[in-house]
Amino acid sequence: MSAGNEMPERGDQPLKKEIKHFTTMAREAWDEVNPRHQSYKKKSGHKKKFLRKNYHTLPAPLHEAFLDYGLEGRSVLHLCCNDGEELVSLKKLNAGRCVGVDISSSAIHSARVLAAGLHLDATFEVADVYDLPDAAYGRFDYVLLTVGALCWLPDLKAFFATATSQLKDGGHLVIMEQHPFSAIVEDDMKVSETFGYFDKTPYEEAGDLDYLGKEAYEGKTCYTFHHTLADIFSALLENKLQLSRFEEHPDDLSNLKRELERAPQTFPLSYLLVATLNIPT
């Protein structure tokens, strides 16, 4: 990754036009790489695994959290759902109404194909998460965010405002993500000399999104954003969400830090967070 230009801001928040600029570039980049990911998954036999009755792709901490909070019959909105595998997994585990939203039309097409092939009633829609109106598809028991989503969101406060507006009173925002600390540790277990934990400069990506097949290609330019744990917690609190569960784990969810996962010394490579919406009466 290489540092890009500073993002114009008004106060502490990016301008709306700048948010749209970055999300549009993200859409183009993911439309470009998704066919590569689907080809890899087909060749590797990954897609056929979904035909197994008990197969799902939920990391163990996320699966356990849903079992603890209750999943059967509960509604789930998965924002930035990519190709829908986690939401399809939840539907296989007897979740209720399931809706997935992603900015990439290519990823949403893949999600629809997967759900249809399994005869599962899950809805997938193309949308920029920053453009969703309140209760865009009704209100949900859970709003889910999974690995590789937060880094594409330039404004966490605005995003969590959107997420909150989709929840029922007492509903839960559930996040299973790569730990922000992992971004500054290289595979040789040395701290990065080019990337700082508190660095707010958008980072430029170009043809570097094939984390599955690891194919190098000349791709669309896009930008990612580093959010510290403090950034995440602060944005949650500003949107009246109450932290009810937080766990740190040594498991790599990104397929980019496997050397650190296998290292004799463990690092926080992922985390599970659950925040609850309680509307004052």
User: Residues 36-50: what's their mean pLDDT?
Assistant: 91
- Separation between Cα atoms, residue 26 and residue 116, nearest integer Å: 26
Of the two residues 272 and 258, the one the predictor is more confident about is 272
Q: What is the mean pLDDT of residues 120-148?
A: 97
Q: What's 245's DSSP letter?
A: E
Rounded Cα distance, 236 and 174, in Å: 12
Decide: 173 and 204 in contact? Cβ < 8 Å: no
Mean pLDDT of the region 160-167: 97
- Topology at the third CATH level for domain 56-196+224-277: Rossmann fold (3.40.50)
Neighbours of 208 (CB within 10 A): 17
Is residue 96 within 8 Å of residue 121, measured between CB atoms?
no
Strand locations in 5-59 (E): 9-10, 13-14
User: Would you place residue 2 in the very low, low, confident or very high pLDDT band (cuts 50, 70, 90)?
Assistant: very low
pTM given for the model: 0.91
Q: Are 77 and 140 in contact (CB under 8 A)?
A: yes
Question: What DSSP state is assigned to residue 213?
Answer: T
b or e along 88-124 (b: 16 or more beta carbons within 10 Å of the residue's beta carbon)?
A: bbbbbeebbbbbbbbbbebbbbbbbebbeeeebebeb
Q: Please compute the mean of the pLDDT values over residues 149-174 and round it to a whole number.
A: 97
Is the pLDDT assigned to residue 187 strictly greater than 50? Answer: yes
Q: Which whole number is the average pLDDT over 140-147?
A: 98
Residue 18 · residue 197 · CB < 8 Å: no
Residue 12's pLDDT band (boundaries 50, 70, 90)?
very low
State the DSSP H helix or E strand holding residue 99, giving kind and residue range, or none if neither. strand 98-102
| Residue 48 three-state SS | helix
